[in-house]
Amino acid sequence: MTTTQHKLGSGFGATSTAAEVLDGIDLTGTLALVTGGYSGIGLETTRALTSAGAHVLVPARRRATAEEALDGIPDTTIDELDLAVLGSVRAFADRFLATGRRLALVVDSAGVMACPETRVGPGWEAQFATNHLGHFALVNHLWPAIADGARVVSVASNGHHFSPIRWADPHFRTGYDKWLAYGQAKTANVLFAVHLDALGRDRGIRAFALHPGAIMTNLGRHIAREELIAQGWIDEHGTPSDLFKTPEAGAATQVWAATSPQLDGHGGVYLENCDIAEVTTDGDTGVRAYAIDPAEAARLWTLSAELTGVDAISR
Ligand SMILES: NC(=O)c1ccc[n+]([C@@H]2O[C@H](COP(=O)([O-])OP(=O)(O)OC[C@H]3O[C@@H](n4cnc5c(N)ncnc54)[C@H](OP(=O)(O)O)[C@@H]3O)[C@@H](O)[C@H]2O)c1
C-alpha cells in the first residue's frame, strides 16, 4: 500500500519520549542496527531499543568512543564502519553477512552537519557522501541480510527544506555552501526512503524518513559559538534555547518509525513528532514535495548506484 503523506493522529507529539512510544512493545529476539548509535539521538535510540529487549549492532568509526558511550548498556555489539569510505562500508557489510544473521530494524542515524568543505573518496562532497551515499551503499550491501518484514529508518531533517537535489552539481564543484550541502544530503535521506520503500514492499520491507526535532548534540560540532548565538540556538551564556528537545524526545520519532504497530502497512513517508508529517511549501515544519517525489527518488537511486557501484535491490 502506498501511504499518503498525512497525519495519522498517533496520539504522540513533540515531547513524547522513546520510552513512551515503546511502552508495551517487546523486542526480545530482535536484531537492530543503529548507525551513529553511540552519540546523540542515535545513542538514545540504542538505549531505548535495548531496554525493550532488542540486541543492537552499533557500527562506529571511533571504536573507543563507542565503547565508552555504550558502557553499561547491555545487548550491544560494536563494529567498525566509516560511512565516508566505501571500502569500510563494504568490509563491515561482508563481516555481518558472514554471520548469517538477519536484521529486523535498521536505523540510519549517523550524520554530519554543516562541516567546512571536505572531499572524500573520488572528490565527493562529504555531507552528501557520508549522510546519503554511505547509507545507500550500506543498505544495498546488507540487503540479503535484511529480513522480510523489516523496517529501514532514514534519519533526515527539516534541513531538507534548504535544498532539493542539485542535479547539475551535487558535489558543489562550483562553490560550496555548508547549509545547502546539509540540505541536499537530508533531501537525499528522504528520497532514499521513498524509493527503498517502493523496492522493498514486495518483501514487506518498509522504509521511513523523519525529522527528529532540534536536539543539542555533537552534531553542532562544526558550528562556531557566534553562529549558534546568531541562530538563537544558545544565548550568550551558552544556555540552549527552549526549542530544543531532550535526547529522549529527540530519539522518539525514529524509535516510533522503527517499531510502532501504528505504522504497520505504511511506508515511504516522512515523519515528525511521532506522526506522519504534512506536505508544506514554507516554514520549517512538514515535508517539501521535492523530497517525496517518486521520480526524484528513482533518479537519485540511479545516480547513487552509479556513484557507489552497488545496487543490490533494483536489479
Ligand atoms: N540533533 C539535531 O538537532 C538534529 C536535527 C535534525 C536532524 N538530525 C539528524 O539526526 C542524526 C543524528 O544526529 P545527532 O544529533 O545524534 O548527532 P551526533 O551526536 O553528532 O551523532 C552523529 C553520529 O554519526 C556518526 N558519524 C558521523 N560521521 C560518520 C562516518 N563517516 N561514519 C560513521 N559514523 C559517522 C558520529 O560518529 P563520531 O562521533 O565518531 O563522529 C556520531 O556517532 C543525523 O543524521 C542528523 O542529521 C539531528
Q: What is the pLDDT of residues 81-98, one digit of tens each?
A: 999 999 999 999 999 999
Contacts of 252 (CB under 8 A, 6+ apart): 12, 16, 17, 18, 20, 21, 212, 274
Window from 7-11, 152-156, 203-207, 240-244 with minimum mean pLDDT: 240-244
Contacts of 156 (CB under 8 A, 6+ apart): 186, 187, 189, 190, 193, 209, 210, 211, 270, 291
* pLDDT of 74 over the 80 cut: yes
pLDDT at res. 2: 82
Which ligand 1 atom lies nearest to the CA of residue 182? 47
Window from 50-54, 239-243, 306-310 with minimum mean pLDDT: 239-243
Q: Is the CB of 88 under 6 A from ligand 1?
A: no
Window from 144-148, 209-213, 229-233 with minimum mean pLDDT: 229-233
* pLDDT of 1 over the 80 cut: no
**Rg of the chain, C-alpha, whole Å:** 18
- Domain residue spans of the chain: 18-308
What percent of the chain is modeled with pLDDT above 70?
99
Q: What is the CATH number of domain 18-308?
A: 3.40.50.720
Q: Is the CB of 77 under 6 A from ligand 1?
A: no
pLDDT at res. 315: 67
pTM above 0.95, yes or no: yes
Residue 275 region, left (φ>0) first, then alpha (ψ -120 to 50), else beta?
beta
| All cell numbers assigned to 162 | 534548504
* pLDDT of 100 over the 90 cut: yes
Angle at which helix 294-308 crosses helix 134-142, to 10 degrees, equals: 80
Contacts of 308 (CB under 8 A, 6+ apart): 86, 133, 136, 137, 140
Asked about 182 being catalytic, the answer comes back as yes
